[in-house]
A = this chain, B = another copy of it.
Amino acid sequence: MDHARRGDRPMSRLDSMLRRLTAQRDGLNWAALQISGIPGEVLDMGLGNGRTYDHLREILPGRRIRVMDRVLQCHPSCTPPEADFLMGEAEPMLERLAAEGAPIVLAHYDFGMGIKADDVAEAARLSPLIARVMVPGGLIISGQPLVGFTPVAAPDSIPPERYLFYRA
């Protein structure tokens, strides 16, 4: 997997996960500050166990947070309100959001099965649909490369290969 090098020895999967989660947390915290002046909602693409969603609702208590996933299988403490959970495939759910006119000011993209080529292709395929729900100036934090958005330099503390930042 991602056996990055640390000095002259490989990084353990424990170190690697710590780097990834730290980058994620720092990126979310940074993005929350960036959008503080812009009205709009938040979109978490990929609920998973709910860790990111839990963090988003902690750092953005005043925002409506929409959450998307094929299934609801998060930790019970992180279950989103029914009205905010979009259960299903990404395409129809993004289309539903776009039809509703949901004004997304911060999106977190975390889809992917760990097969890099497939994950990159999916992210490219979904990018135009994501663009339709974003408000101008909104930010996207992504674990996969997206297309059609303006890359944004992340804070220095975030290893650039771990998370990607875009402005809509």
Give residues in A with beta carbon < 8 Å to B. 1, 3, 9-15, 17-18, 21-22, 24-25, 28, 49-52, 54-55, 57-59, 75, 77-78
Give Cα A54–Cα B28 distance, bound, in whole angstroms: 28
Interface centre among A12, A21, A49 (most CB of B within 10 A): A12
List 13 other contacts, CB 8 Å, given A13-B50, A13-B77, A18-B21: A10-B58, A11-B58, A12-B51, A12-B55, A12-B57, A12-B59, A13-B54, A13-B78, A14-B24, A15-B58, A17-B51, A18-B18, A18-B22
Oligomer copy total: 2
> Chain B residues near A1 (CB, 8 Å)?
75, 77
Shortest distance in angstroms between A1's beta carbon and chain B's nearest beta carbon?
6
CA distance A23 to B47 in the complex (A): 26
Contacts of A17 in B (CB 8 A): 21, 51
Partner of A21, one of B11, B21, B52: B21
